[in-house]
Amino acid sequence: MDDNKVKENEHEKHDGADIEEEEEDEEGHKRFVVLGPQVPLKEQLELDKDDESLRRWKEQLLGQVDTEQLGETAEPEVKVLNLTILSPGRPDLVLPIPFQADDKGYAFTLKDGSLYSFRFSFTVSNNIVSGLKYTNTVWKTGVRVENKKMMLGTFSPQLEPYVYEGEEETTPAGIFARGSYSAKLRFFDDDGKCYLETSYYFEIRKEWPATQ
C-alpha cells in the first residue's frame, strides 16, 4: 500500500525551535529563511479567536478541525487502524494493524489472476499532518517485485477516521506467480516522520481459501 527510511530535513528543527526553509533568490543563490517556531495547532486556533473574520479565514484554510483531537504538542499523530482487501464477488476482508498472521505465518491470501484493491482507515490527532504517504514493497524469493509509493495528502485532526481506497489491480497469474511473498508497509509524512513500519507475509494461491 521506498523501503529506505526517508531522511528528515537537516535544516528543519522541531521541539519548538525555529524552522529554516531553503529557497533561491533571483540570481539562483540558495538561502535559508527562518519561519519561526512550530507551535501546537490548538495554540494557533486560540490566537485572535475573538476576531470573527480571522476565525472564518482559519476555518477556510484548515477545514473543520475537531478541537477534541488537538493535543498540547506540535507534532501530529497518525494511527493506521486497519487494511481492508476488496475483491469483486468476495466479502470484504478487514485486517487490523498490526497484522495477525495465520498458522502458516501469512497475514492474508489472494487468488492468482484476481481483481483486488486495498482500503486503509487511519486517524489524525494533535496537529495537521502534511504530505502523508505510504510505500509498500514486495519481495518473492528475495527478489523485489513491487515498490509502490502513494501520496495520500494533507489531513487535519478529527475524531472520524479517514478512509483511502487504492486503485483496483490484478494479482499475477500462473504457477510461477503462486507462493509466498514478503512485504514491508510504511506510512510517513513530508518531514520524514514515520507513523507505521511493519513487515508481513502473504500468499498467492490458485484458488481463494475456503475461510479467511
Instruction: Look at residue 32 and tell me if it is in a domain.
Output: no
Whether residue 86 is found in the same domain as residue 157: yes
Whether residue 143 is found in the same domain as residue 192: yes
The model's pLDDT over 86-107, given as tens digits with 9 standing for 90+, comes to 999 999 999 999 999 999 999 9
Whether residue 135 is found in the same domain as residue 49: no
Whether residue 44 is found in the same domain as residue 107: no
Number of domains in the chain: 2
Whether residue 50 is found in the same domain as residue 104: no
For residue 163, give its domain range. Answer: 75-205
User: Helices (H) and strands (E) in the chain — how many of each?
Assistant: 2, 12
- Calculate the alpha carbon distances from 16 to 19, 20, 43, 116, 188 in Å: 9, 12, 12, 44, 21
pLDDT surpassing 90 at residue 145: yes
The model's pLDDT over 103-118, given as tens digits with 9 standing for 90+, comes to 999 999 999 999 999 9
Give a three-class secondary structure readout of 110-135: EECCCEEEEEEEEEEECCCEEEEEEE
Whether residue 58 is found in the same domain as residue 140: no
| Grid cell in block for residue 178 | 503462486
Whether residue 57 is found in the same domain as residue 100: no
Least confident among 5-14, 15-24, 60-69, 122-131: 5-14
Whether residue 67 is found in the same domain as residue 138: no
Residue 72 pLDDT: 62
Instruction: Look at residue 1 and tell me if it is in a domain.
Output: no
